[in-house]
Amino acid sequence: MWFKINEQASQRVKNVTLLLTAIMTMLELAFLSSFPHSSESRFYVIIAKLLTILFLFYGIYMVQQIQVTLKTYLTLWGGLQLLLIGAWVDLLEELVITNYWYVELCEHYGMTLGVFSISLGLFFWYKENNNENKLRYELATGAGKVGVWDWNLETNEFYVDPHLKGMLGYEDHEIPNIVDKWSELVHPEDREQMVSKTLIHLRGGTQHYEVVRRMIHKNGTIRWFLTRGTALYNDQGKPFRIVGTDTDISDRQKLEHQLLQSQKMEALGRLTGGVAHDFNNLLAVIKGSAELLEIKLSDTPSLVKQAKRIKISAVRGSELTNKLLGFSRHKQKQRGIVDINRCVETAIGLIESTIDKRIVVKTDLCTESPKVDGVENELELVFINMAINACDAMIPTFEKVSEGRLCFRTRLENITNDLAEQHELDAELPYVRISIADTGIGIAEDIQQEIFEPFFTTKESEKGTGLGLSMAYGAVKSHSGAITLESSLGYGTTFHIFLPVKQVEE
C-alpha cells in the first residue's frame, strides 16, 4: 500500500514537471519566433512555431492528467487554448501573409490573455498544493496527537506548532513562542529531568533527545507527553538548532496504569483465595476440637454451651471463607435458577460484620421470592460491590449525622416501554427490581454517566480501584438486565437493578 501511494505521488510530480516543461518550452519558442527574421531563417521560424503548437497540445493533454480543482483546470485549459489559437493564427500568418484585423487580435491579445490565464492557473495550483499539504499535515498530526516545535539555540527563537498549543487547550495567540513561557507549562517535578536530558543530547551523549514529561493543560489537568528531538550541528560541531515533536500519550499512560491496577487486583484475588483456603483449614481444626470438647465436657452443661458457641463461630467463619474462595476461583460460570431474595440476604451476611457499625442495614423483600436465570456468585458480588460503595458514600456524612441507612428492596413489576427502549430490555417480560438505597453524600449529575466506566473513582487511590461498579454493570448486562440510578447531592443515592424473571414451574 505504501509503495502504491509513493508510486502515485511520484507520477503526480512527474506530470507536474512535464506540464511546466511544456509550458516553458512553448513560451521560449514563441518568444524566439516573435523576433524579426530574414527569409533565409523563415524555415526555422516555421519549425519553431510548429513545435510551439505541438507543445501546446501536449500541455492541454497534461492538464487533463493532473488532479486539480475545476477552477484551476478551466484557467489552465482556457489559457492553453487561447495560446493555441494564437499560435495557429501566427503560423498561418507566417505561411500566408495576411493583415486582417482579427489576425492581429488573436495573435497578440489572445496570446497575452493566454499567458495571463496560465499564470493565474499556476498560482491557483500552487495554492491548492499548499493547502493540501497543510491539510495533510493537520490530519496526520491530529490523528497522531503530535505537535512540532523548533528552537534556534543561537538566536533563541522558538516556534511551537498551533496544533500542539491546542492539545493543551490554548489558542495560538494565548502562548507566545518563547522558550521560558513554554517551559512554565511543564510540570515542576519534570523540569529538572527535561533540562538534564536536553543537555546530555546537546553534548552528543545521545543520538536523539527523548523524555516523557507532564504538561499542565489550560483547565489545570495534567497531560502526558512523549517529547522527541534532534539537534543540528554547524561545521565546528556546535549545536545551533534543535527540532522535535511532542506526542500526547495521556491515554496510553492511563491504560498502563489501569493494566497495572488490574494486575494488582488479580494478584490480590489469588492471595485472598490462598489465605481463605489456609484459614478454612484452621477453622476445620477449631470446629473439630469444639466437637470433641462437646463430647468430653458433656457432664458440664456450661462448658458444653461454650464449646457449641466455638463450633457455631467456626462454621460461620468457614461459610465466609468458602464464599471468598468461590469469588476468587477462575472457573467456568454455571448458570441456573437464582433466588434473588436469597442472593440479597447472602450478600448482606457477607458485608454486615465488616461495615461501619453506624450503618444500619434494612431489607424490604417481596414475598413472591423472584427467580432469575443467572450465575449466583456473580449476582451476589454485584450486591456486595454496590453495598460497599453505598457504605463508603455514607462515611463522610457522619460528621453531621450519627447514623446511616442502607436499604435493600425487591419488587416484581412490569417495566415501561421507555425504559425498555433506553436499556435494550424486553417490555413484554416481567422483571424484578432490586433497589439499593443509601443516605450518603450523593453523586453529582455531571459524573453520573461515568461512574460505571472501568477504573473511574472519586475515592483516594488507596481506598478504591474504580472496578466495583463497572464489574456490577457488566454482570447485570450479561444477565440481560439494566442499572439506573437516582441521586441528590447531600441526600443519598438509590440504584435500581432490573433483571428478567425466570418463570419456574412448581
pLDDT tens profile 71-95? 777 777 777 777 776 666 666 666 6
Residue range 381-439, pLDDT digits in tens: 889 888 988 888 898 888 888 889 999 999 999 988 888 888 888 888 999 999 999 99
Q: What angle do CA 145, 146, 150 make, to 5 degrees?
A: 155
pLDDT at 236: 85
Q: 17-26, 72-81, 127-136, 208-217 — which one is most confidently predicted on average?
A: 208-217
| pLDDT-derived band at 331, boundaries 50, 70, 90 | very low
Q: 27-41, 257-271, 334-348 — which one is most confidently predicted on average?
A: 334-348
Domain boundaries defined on the chain:
2-140, 145-248, 255-328, 336-500
- 278 CA to centre of own chain: 44
- Judge whether residue 128 has pLDDT over 80: no
Please answer whether residues 436 and 379 qualify as being in contact, where contact means their C-beta atoms are separated by less than 8 angstroms: no
| pLDDT-derived band at 458, boundaries 50, 70, 90 | low
**Regarding the domain delimited by 336-500, which CATH topology (the fold level of the hierarchy) does it fall under?**
Heat Shock Protein 90 (3.30.565)
Instruction: Taking each helix axis as running N to C, give the angle between helix 468-478 and helix 376-394, from 0 to 180 degrees, rounded to the nearest 10.
Output: 150
Number of other CB atoms surrounding residue 457 within 10 Å: 18
How far from each other are the two terminal CA atoms of the chain, in whole angstroms? Answer: 65
Q: 173-187, 252-266, 456-470 — which one is most confidently predicted on average?
A: 173-187
pLDDT at 10: 45
Question: CA 231 to CA 241: how far, in whole Å?
Answer: 6
- Judge whether residue 114 has pLDDT over 70: no
Residue range 279-292, pLDDT digits in tens: 888 888 888 888 88
Please answer whether residues 204 and 259 qualify as being in contact, where contact means their C-beta atoms are separated by less than 8 angstroms: no
326-345 mean pLDDT: 74
- The grid coordinates of residue 167 equal 492539545
Please answer whether residues 150 and 141 qualify as being in contact, where contact means their C-beta atoms are separated by less than 8 angstroms: no
- Judge whether residue 329 has pLDDT over 80: no
Q: What angle do CA 42, 45, 48 make, to 5 degrees?
A: 155
444 conformational bin, left if phi > 0, alpha if psi -120 to 50, beta if neither: beta
Residue 129 pairs in a beta bridge with none
Instruction: Taking each helix axis as running N to C, give the angle between helix 301-328 and helix 376-394, from 0 to 180 degrees, rounded to the nearest 10.
Output: 100
Please answer whether residues 214 and 192 qualify as being in contact, where contact means their C-beta atoms are separated by less than 8 angstroms: no
**Regarding the domain delimited by 145-248, which CATH topology (the fold level of the hierarchy) does it fall under?**
Beta-Lactamase (3.30.450)
312-340 mean pLDDT: 71
pLDDT at 41: 56
86-107 mean pLDDT: 61
pLDDT at 134: 62
* Residue whose C-alpha is closest to residue 246's, from 173, 194, 171: 194
472-481 mean pLDDT: 85
What single DSSP character describes residue 203?
T
pLDDT at 406: 93
- Judge whether residue 56 has pLDDT over 80: no
Task: Report which residue type is found at 243.
Answer: V
234-238 mean pLDDT: 86
Residue whose C-alpha cell is 501511494: 5
